[in-house]
Amino acid sequence: MSKALTRVDPWRGLTRWTTARIAMGCAGVSTPTSPLLAFNSDHALARDAIYAPLNVARLKGQFQDAGFETIAVTSRVKSRAEYLRRPDLGRSLAPDSAEVLARKQSPSQVLTVVVADGLSALAPMTHALPLLELLRGGLADWVLDTIVLATEARVALGDEIGQIRGAEAVLVLIGERPGLKSPDSLGAYLTYRPRVGRMDSERNCVSNIRPEGLSYEQAAFRLVHLLDRARILGATGVTLKDNSDHLPDAPAKRTLAGPIQGDSD
């Protein structure tokens, strides 16, 4: 009596509820060919996301077409290889970029938004603009600053940018560390009264922003809520708890966002 070469996992039916890599079955003591090829493909996409550069010219044109002014800056990092080896250099501006950002007058209630490559340029290229178009409609009590497009950037680069711009708050939209099923996950890091030296515990993070994770509508709603609460409390981070899910007009919840996540620091 012959036996099938590939054994189907009894939990196979659960795969319709998740994109996680579960119930792959087995062929003898090995992984079946199809899920093995899928794994290799996802791994290649994640690696490509890390090394692909941010197309600043294209992004600048898209933002300008949508009515946003932009400024392009870069960190002290000289190459992608250095970016991966030296996170500290990605947290401070190149001297010429700091000069470009300087402004003579700083109006009150300024929100500076930084769109950064981080560990996945694919994420801001795909998701930053549609998120900001929704977010713009909820910023009645804020003055939206010129959008800053930052390359070779880490999250803390927003602190120096916000300090130079005289911002009341800075929002960094940055590519998160790619997962094997999510090479384009966008993270949003919010810091109130940004200045050089702020700690990770002093900012809030809304993560996994993409159609398959936290929708643009949900993320925009959550960020507006956090901005308003940050102004009342005078702080972000562990002081500011996100209770937006419990508000009566909150969009349907699909994924969690915590006070901080270190994917792109």
pLDDT of residue 257: 38
Residue 132: exposure state from Cβ atoms within 10 A (0-12, 13-18, ≥19): buried
Question: Which residues constitute the domain of residue 146?
Answer: 51-246
- What is the per-residue DSSP string for the chain? ----SEEPPTTGGGGGG--S-----EETTB--HHHHHHHHHHHHHHHHHHHSPP-HHHHHHHHHHTT--EEEEEBS--SHHHHHH-TTGGGSB-HHHHHHH--S---TTEEEEEEE-TT-THHHHHHHHHHHHHHHTT-TTSEEPPEEEEES--TTHHHHHHHHHT-SEEEEEEEPPPBTTBTT-EEEEEEES--TT--GGGEEEEEEESTTSB-HHHHHHHHHHHHHHHHHHT--GGGS---GGGSTTPPPP-S---S---TT-
pTM of the entire structure?
0.85
Share above pLDDT 90 across residues of the chain, in percent, rounded to a whole number: 66
- Segment 108-112 mean pLDDT: 92
Q: What angle do CA 93, 67, 215 make, to 5 degrees?
A: 80
pLDDT band at 258 (very low <50, low <70, confident <90, very high): very low
**CA 122 from centroid of its chain's CA atoms:** 10
Q: What is the CATH number of the domain that holds 220?
A: 3.40.50.11240
- 218 falls in which pLDDT band (50, 70, 90)? very high
Q: Is residue 126 part of a domain?
A: yes
Residue 6 sits at φ, ψ, to 5 deg, of -110, 130
What is the rounded average pLDDT for all residues in the chain? 88
Does the pLDDT value for residue 8 go beyond 80?
A: no
Q: Does residue 3 lie in a domain region?
A: no
Total domain count, the chain: 1
Give a yes or no: residue 31 inside a domain. no
Residue 96 scores a pLDDT above 70: yes
Kindly state whether residue 17 falls inside one of the protein's structural domains: no
CA angle 135, 136, 139 (to 5 degrees): 90
| pLDDT for 245 | 74
111 assigned to some structural domain: yes
